[in-house]
Amino acid sequence: MTKEPLFEISRKLNVLISLLLRQILGQKEFSKNRNRSLGIGDLARYLHDMGLEAKDIAEILGSPIQSIRTLLTPKRRR
């Protein structure tokens, strides 16, 4: 497989994960301008521990990639 189909599959899987995560958490609002969700750091660390990279986690959680990288740095953990 070439890189482009793999990138497309990855994007579609990220969308499915995001939809399932929102369903589990009971979020019905899908706009980007919503209030900040509580527990983004915990969710980011959980997804990182499951093997996802910061870029994918940012896409799934709808957060900026730099914020996710900051949340995943060891000194930010409590």
pLDDT tens digits, 2-12: 788 888 888 88
Angstrom CA distances, 50 to 15, 22, 43, stand at 17, 18, 11
Nearest to 47 by CA among 12, 20, 76, 28: 20
pLDDT tens digits, 19-69: 888 788 776 555 455 555 557 888 888 888 888 889 999 988 889 999 999
Q: Name the burial class of residue 22, with classes exposed (0-12), middle (13-18) and buried (19+) by CB atoms within 10 angstroms of its CB.
A: middle
Tell me which residue has tokens 């957060």.
63
pTM for this structure? 0.65
